[in-house]
Amino acid sequence: MRWWTRSLRAPAFTRTEVRPMARCRRLLPPLAALTLSVVAALSLVSAQPTAGDQTPSAPSTPSTPSAQSAQSAPGAPGASGSAPIAPAVPATAPPLPANDSAASGAPAEQPAAAAPLPPGPTSTPAAVPSPAVPAVLQAPPPTATWFHRHHHAKQQPWVAAANPMAVDAGLEILAKGGRAVDAAVAVQAMLGLVEPQSSGVAGGAFLMYFDAHTGKLTAFDGREKAPAAAHPDMFLDEHGKPLPYVEAVRSGRSTGVPGVMAMLFTAHRQLGTLPWKDLFQPAIRAASQGFRVPARLAMFLGEGSPFPPTNEVRMLFSRPDGEPLEEGDLFRNPEYARTLQRLAQEGPRALSEGEIADKIMRATHQPPLPGTMVLSDLSSYRADWTEPVCRLFHGYTVCVPPPPSSGVALLEMLEMLDHTDIASRSPSDPQAWFLFAQASRLMYADRDRYVADPHFVHVPVERLLDPAYVRLRVQLIGEHAGAPPPPGDIPVPRGHDATAESAGTSHLVVVDADGDAVSMTTTVESIFGSGRTVAGFVLNNQLTDFSFVPSEGGQPVANAVHGGKRPRSSMAPVIVVDHTGDFVAALGSPGGNAILEYNAKTLVGLLAWKLSLKQAIELPNLIARGDTFSGEIARFSPALLAGLRERGIELKPGHAENSGLHGVVRLADGSYEGAADSRREGVARTLAPARAPGKHAAAR
């Protein structure tokens, strides 16, 4: 489908509607250059200089697109669509901290983690003015053509990911002239080495891509698929009851056909610059020479792990004498290095054909509960390349992958919050968090009932995001939290969902010097996936993301198992653009079904409360689903917790893996800044010296 046509999945805001003014802006630089050429030619023909004449001054030219972007408030009127775009709230966030540790040509780490916002009432800081823009700017260089849609100056590239070695691998590729997709491949290859408990080459992912040259947004779907012989009752015991969750995870039936490398190969073939084989060299080098075991990997390998590793995992990730790895140990994984060498030379065929494919199939056929995967399942996998789903939130366009990603549910939650007064409140206001919790419960009720693989069931995306439907859901928020809300009344027969999600996932963001951006969430599902290992990596347990119960009350469950079907996912990588279609932010998080709330919290903080990206990430986490309310109690003030209790919400300590948010945001001067969640080991780094502190583009 052509990018300028209306998307069947997201008709309300297609690219033509997101960028109504940008197309006009893009004509200005070429017209300015043409005007200068004509004026110069006429002056040579008609001018009669004398001894006292001076060289004529160049005529004033229109502002370049980047200058216009710096002067225009995001969310200003002008975007078309079914709903008007509200103007952005004036900036109230303090300036982002300076990144004074950066050095030219060397990775510069993100600013020191900001402390959590203070509890209790807070004062609103004064707005920080945007940098001054000259009245007259130089015309674009003569080489500019009609096809150059953006003329932003090159900026420092950023990488944000869950481990410093993965970030450095991405920066190494960017330093060699690679684009955002090139760096994402290198980051994923390294994450499979240093964070194997969360993602790997045998996992799955969703990737959002922003092309700064064209303004086009693209979604890539690398979600795993069930083998063709998978059947709806494969996770039921002989009595028709759901298997215990851990038993299902550790079985051969839990592994889906891997998709992440096929997805990255597809994205690289269309959007990459450097040779595919070069992108694996940082990870091959580290796997061969060894790396120091980070604290999180050591913790998940230890006795205190919340999800104890299998013997296979312990054997793979062990010292030469067989003892468990500990933090700081030098660990080499030569098997993984050989796998990456095969991937570098053969592409994703290295996993779908030949020796490694045979090993994957045999591993899934081992007891207990052997699976049904065959070689044709592996060789027939194809990643999807499609249009994202986009909707407005507080004057900005938030874009996510379509189902089976749960991004549509995130958009529904944001739309509900946009119908409340949460933006006029503050992070210390219990009413704001009450609204957040209630919208979250409504969102999960709809997501769990209706979202699944659209190739197998009808997913009512348009109905879920219809403004009239959203207003009906908002009316259920009320003033006091009561019983779990039912799903909305949509004429699609669906049974009650019984999906249980784990939290072994990672997120990465890359923005290159041209402004192209990748936001990618990647996973092997549970901690160390199924616990089965092949060729130096772990296999996923993605099929336990299906509902173990295929029907309820005679109605089929949307997320029931079916051969070739992709299980529903909570992964929802985000890219935000402004009313002209210019990049504002890319972000996302791991965390199982809590991903949606981690992302929503950060977007509320960034776009509605005008916090810096780091401040928004460090906001407390609150998870509300059904009749369960959990959160980071220590990060909420006693007054706020008391206010929630008055509204019927008693927070309990959370049991999830915690958020691992990573993101990059565009500042008001057009430069970028990254941030990483202090709850994990992630960092955000750049190659170039940091700019002076400033506001992000969403806070202008």
Task: Name the residue among 647, 694, 548, 474 with its Cα closest to residue 241.
Answer: 548
Q: Return the H-helix or E-strand segment holding 431.
A: helix 430-450
Contact 428, 123 (CB under 8 A): no
- Rounded CA gap, 190 and 285, in Å? 10
From residue 125, alpha-carbon distances to 46, 115, 122, 475, 611 in Å are 58, 17, 9, 33, 11
- Rounded CA gap, 287 and 356, in Å? 18
> Integer distance in angstroms from the first to the last C-alpha of the chain?
35
- Give the type of residue at 274: L
Q: Return the H-helix or E-strand segment holding 662.
A: strand 662-666
Strands (E), 361-454: 384-386, 389-393, 396-400
The alpha-helical segments, DSSP class H, found in 560-656 are 595-603, 613-617, 638-646
218 Cβ contact partners less than 8 Å away, ≥ 6 residues apart: 208, 209, 211, 385, 386, 387, 388
* Tokens representing residue 249 in the block: 């995870």
Could you please report the per-residue DSSP string of 84-147?
Answer: PPPPPPPP-SPPPPP-TT-BTTB-EEPPPPPPPPPSS--PPPPPPPPPP--SS-PPPPTT--TT
Task: Name the residue among 573, 539, 543 with its Cα closest to residue 267.
Answer: 573
- DSSP lists the bridge partners of residue 664 as 586, 674
Residue 506: Cβ-neighbour burial (10 angstroms; 0-12, 13-18, 19+): buried
Contact 559, 569 (CB under 8 A): no
Question: Can you tell me which residue has the tokens 């130089």?
Answer: 138
Side-chain-side CA neighbours of residue 274 (13 Å) = 23
Angle at 446 between CA 444 and CA 449, to 5 degrees: 105
Q: Return the H-helix or E-strand segment holding 25.
A: helix 22-46
- DSSP lists the bridge partners of residue 386 as 219
Strands (E), 540-582: 551-552, 555-556, 574-577
Do the bridges between strand 652-653 and strand 628-631 make them parallel or antiparallel, or are there none, so unpaired? parallel
Active site (catalytic) residues: 505
- DSSP lists the bridge partners of residue 637 as none
Task: Name the residue among 449, 437, 427 with its Cα closest to residue 482.
Answer: 437
* Tokens representing residue 601 in the block: 């919290």
Contact 629, 615 (CB under 8 A): no
Max CA pair span of the chain: 104
- Rounded CA gap, 281 and 360, in Å? 24
- Rounded CA gap, 4 and 13, in Å? 11
